[in-house]
Chains A and B, each alone.
Chain A
C-alpha cells in the first residue's frame, strides 16, 4: 500500500483544473463561417508586399505547419505480410515516388506526404528566382537530407525501434520541411519587383 502525503485544498484544486479537458468542441462546425468571412486573406496588409508573394508565403506556412504536426501524428503500418526492403528515394528533386518510410515497418501518413509534396512543388516554382549557384546548392542539400533519411532507415532495418535512430529520422524529416520552407521564404523575401505603394520618396 502506497502512502501519499495528504493533499491540501490547493493541490486538489490544481489537480482538478489540470484534469479539465483543454479541448471543447463548438456546438456546431464553425469552418463554413470562417471560410466565407469577408476580407479573409488580405495580402495588402502583409508588410506592403505583392499579393502573389503573400499567397506563396501563406501557402508555404500552412503546409509546413500541417506537415510538421503530421510527422509525429500518425504512422501507418505497411500492410504487407512480408518484410519490406527500405525503399530508396527517387533520384529527382522534389517528389518521392514511394510513401515516406519510417523504419522497416511504418510509413508516415499520406497527409504528411501530401503536404510535403505540395511544399516541394511550391518551391519548384520559386526556385527559378534564385541565383543558379544557390539553386544548385539547395538541390544538392535536399538530396543530402534524403540520403541521410535513407541511411537512417537502413540502420533502422537492422535495429528496429532504436530510439536514437528514430529521433534522428524524425528530426531529419522535420529538417527537410524547414529547409523547404526557409528556401521558399528566402526566395521571395529578397527580390522586389514593382508594386503600387503610395507615399514614397522616389529617386
Chain B
C-alpha cells in the first residue's frame, strides 16, 4: 500500500459518494458523471490490487494481516462495480444514491485497509 495513493483513493471515493448522494436526493437519475466516479473508484481499486500483489515482493509489507487486507480489498472491488450494474438496470434516482452509498462504503474500507497496512500489529 502506498500512503498518497490510498489518500487519493479515499478522496475520490468520498467526493464521488457525497456527489452521488446529493444528486440522488435532488432526484437525478444515474448520469455519466456519477457513473464515472464509481468507475474511477473501481479502477483505482484494481490498481490497488496490483500494488498489493507487487508490494510485498518489493519490500513494501503490511504491519497487520495481509489475509485480512485482501478480504477487505476484494469485497471493496465488488461494491462500485455492483452499484454500477445496479444503476444500469434500474434507471431511477435511488440508483444514484446507491452509487453514493457504495463509494462511501469503499472509502471506509480503504481507511480500515490503511490501518491494517500501516498501523495494526497482528
Is B truly associated with A? no
Binding site for A on B (CB under 8 A): none
Binding site for B on A (CB under 8 A): none
